[in-house]
Amino acid sequence: MRVFIACLILIFGVTGASVAQPLHYLLDPSRSIVGFELDFGQNLIRGRMPVSDAELTLDFEQVAASHVRVTLKADAARADLPFATQAMRGENVLATRSFPLIRFESTSVRASETGAIVSGNITIRDITHPVMLNARIFRAKGTEEGERDNLAVQLTGTVSRSAFGAVGYADLVGDEVRLNIVAYIQRKG
């Protein structure tokens, strides 16, 4: 995954021209990757979770006017180890029979040196806590500067699984879940 992100950074460049209004985007879930990893002793457990729904409004001139809402399918999450997938979906971790979805909605977006900081609320197991994600936007190699029809967004951050009651297997698996999300988006309309 890190090699993939490095390649993205090399072949995509940040857009540069200003636009006078917010732009609305649709997510391409078939190409987007909601990746996560956590410590498993001296090793890592990595996995993916599909997106159920997403609404993205980006304002390149007034970043604070941007808004993101995403729903993930926790009940379809997969880890790179088969036994970890079953344990992750079980009652002591995500409890996906009762809580099949994870939701995120931004509360603020502000520019940073490398992109933007997206603050918002994430709901896991029907428990909501604030989270902060680092965001970067890329355009396809070979497109003109200012092209904003097809973009890639990388979001990174962490959540504490115990904060959401996902405390199962704490003696084996770390508490910090590191998120690395690459979303391909296309401008609506």
Residue type, 134: N
**C-alpha closest to that of 183 among 46, 65, 78, 69:** 69
Q: Tens place of pLDDT for every residue, the chain, 189 residues? A: 433 333 333 333 343 444 458 999 999 988 898 999 999 999 999 999 999 888 899 999 999 999 999 999 999 999 999 899 999 999 999 999 999 999 999 999 999 999 999 999 999 999 999 999 999 999 988 889 889 999 999 999 999 999 999 999 999 999 999 999 999 999 997
Instruction: Please give the CATH topology (third level) of the domain spanning 2-187.
Output: Lipocalin (2.40.128)
Domain boundary assignment for the chain: 2-187
Dist. CA 168–CA 22, nearest whole Å: 42
pLDDT at 112: 94
Strands 150-160 and 127-139: antiparallel
The answer to whether the CB of 140 falls within 8 A of the CB of 149 is no
pTM: 0.85
| Structure confidence at residue 142 (pLDDT) | 87
Please give the torsion angle defined by the CA atoms of residues 43, 79, 123 and 188, in that order, rounded to the nearest 10 degrees. 120
Q: Give the pLDDT of residue 17.
A: 43
Contacts of 155 (CB under 8 A, 6+ apart): 118, 133, 134, 135, 179, 180, 181, 183
Q: What integer pLDDT is reported at residue 189 of this predicted model? A: 76
pLDDT at 20: 58
| Neighbouring-strand partners of residue 130 | 121
Tens-digit pLDDT profile for residues 37-69: 999 999 999 999 999 888 899 999 999 999 999
